[in-house]
Amino acid sequence: MALVDPSQMRFSFMAAIPLWARVVVPTLILVSTVLNVIALLPGVPFLEIDSVILSSLAGPYSILHVVQLLWDHKLYPLVVLVVGFSILFPPIKLILASVSLVAPMTSVGRERMLSVLGHLGRWSLLDVFVSLLILLVLSDQGFVGVQVHFGLYCFLGAIILSMTAGVILHEMCRRSVPDKHLPQEHRRPLIMLAGWQGAVATVLAIGATAVIVFAFTEPMFQINQFGMRSNTWSLWEGISFLFTDDLQIFAVVMLLFLVVYPVAVLAILIFTLYTPLPRRWRRRFYLLMRYTAEWSMLDVFSLAMVLYLSEQTNFVPLEIKHGTWFLFGAVAIYTVAILWAEMVMRRAITRREAAGTLGFRMPARFMRPGIRR
């Protein structure tokens, strides 16, 4: 009798995860859905702008406002990005996460779905970063007032909770498959088998870290509007201002997502390349790097800068400083460093497998509980 491949069996994942996850994940999805609906209601603004000298800015600011401005200026590609990631994708992600949890699916299909959702989830914070840029530009001005409304808190909370639920689901999927028994291995750093490619990965990681530091400390833009103070802002100054202006939640978000997490990804990368680790711990650090990268949002913030600059004639014109170019450079080098390092790690691991020194296998497929080979 032919054996059935467990990875092709369809089953509901709800029964395969621990009890705490069966409670926490649906709760996160439910709360995220409620917050997302509230944030996207037409009458719920993110910011309220009160301006004497800039009467065209006065009034509520929301995602729908951004879409309208971009549409009026015929910036249709940016309209597609904002509508797609900030309006359509959050509810779609919640629906698909629920489907992956309760619907009968193959392990291959569930893994691929959760992986895609994890990689795309951070882009939903695009409009949050646009709002924070507007907040910084209009703050510390004598004749302009800007107030944060609960819509921005709701939207930020909805996205973070949905991303958290996705990470938990993905990790539960990974843990549902027991590792095969592995023979004792001779522990050697991957860099020994990576050769010149590992050296390039190291240089890229160090270079990306240095550019991120410059992007964090150097001035990014200066306000260039008649009747307004010509304040100059760097990321560090902006985050410090949010901390002192009773907006600590947004300060923590910017600090973690734009600085701490990207640098942590690069640090884990170098640690994994140069430290002699057993296969299990190497796998754990690789997954930690992947999960942390899902929360690294330099690219999202860079796109938010592009969005603001594309519609700055409707807000406040900015004079771009070299910190912005460091930001764009950090995104490019960081992305290349991560992609190159993943390629180097896979090749080094493959070489160890071929040499018979390491029984490493890439992410396993998930076996239905109760089904035996």
296-347 pLDDT, tens per residue? 999 999 999 998 888 777 777 889 999 999 999 999 999 999 999 888 887 7
Q: Which class for 154: exposed (0-12), middle (13-18), buried (19 or more C-beta within 10 A)?
A: buried
Computed from CA positions of residues 190, 336, 133, 119, in that sequence, does the dihedral angle turn out positive or negative?
A: negative
| 320 φ, ψ (degrees, to nearest 5) | -70, 130
Angle subtended by helix axes 322-354 and 261-274, to nearest 10: 30
Amino acid at 261: Y
CA 239 → CA 25, 138, 256, 258, distances in Å? 31, 15, 11, 10
Domain residue limits, the chain: 18-177, 182-361
Q: Is the dihedral of CA 222, 225, 230, 236 positive or negative?
A: negative
Percent of the chain whose pLDDT exceeds 70 = 84
Report the Cα–Cα distance between both ends of the chain, in Å, rounded. 12
Strand order in the sheet with 59-61: 59-61, 47-51, 144-148
Distance from CA of residue 347 to its chain's centroid?
A: 26
Cα 334 to Cα 302: distance, rounded to the nearest angstrom: 13
Report in angstroms the alpha-carbon separations of 12 from 15, 23, 173.
7, 16, 12
Q: Cα separation of 168 and 27, whole Å? A: 12
| Residue whose tokens read 């490493």 | 360
Note the pLDDT of residue 358. Answer: 42
Nearest to 349 by CA among 192, 182, 171: 192
The three-state (H, E, C) secondary structure of the chain, written as one string: CCCCCHHHCCECCHHHCCHHHHHHHHHHHHHHHHHHHHHCCCCCCCEEEEECCCHHHCEEECHHHHHHHHHHCCCHHHHHHHHHHHHHHHHHHHHHHHHHHHCCECHHHHHHHHHHHHHHHHHHHHHHHHHHHHHHHHCCCCCEEEEECHHHHHHHHHHHHHHHHHHHHHHHHHHCCCCCCCCCCCCCCCHHHHCHHHHHHHHHHHHHHHHHHHHHHCEEEEECCCCCCCCEEEHHHHHHHHHHCCCHHHHHHHHHHHHHHHHHHHHHHHHHHHCCCCHHHHHHHHHHHHHHHCCCCHHHHHHHHHHHHHCHHHCCCEEECHHHHHHHHHHHHHHHHHHHHHHHHHHHHHHHHHCCCCCCCCCCCCCCCCCCC
Query: Residue 367 — very low, low, confident or very high, per pLDDT cuts 50/70/90?
Result: very low
Q: What is the pLDDT of residues 36-79, one digit of tens each?
A: 999 988 888 888 877 666 555 667 888 887 788 788 778 788 88
d(CA 204, CA 336): 8
pLDDT of residue 133 exceeding 80: yes
Number of other residues whose CB lies within 10 A of the CB of residue 226: 6
Looking at the structure, give the CATH architecture of the domain made up of residues 18-177. Up-down Bundle (1.20)
- The least confident of 30-39, 60-69, 75-84, 239-248 is 60-69
The single-letter code of the amino acid at 224 is N
Residue 83 tokens read as 């509508």
**pLDDT value at residue 370:** 38
**In which band, very low, low, confident or very high, does the pLDDT at 105 lie, cut at 50, 70 and 90?**
confident
> Mind listing the pLDDT tens digit for each residue in 250-308?
999 999 999 999 999 999 999 988 988 887 788 888 889 989 999 999 999 999 999 88
Residue 311 vs residues 141, 146, 148, 314, 320: alpha-carbon distances, Å: 20, 18, 20, 6, 14
pLDDT the model gives residue 63 = 83
Average pLDDT over residues 82-88: 89
The confidence score (pLDDT) of residue 355 equals 56
Nearest CA to 233 among 255, 246, 218? 218
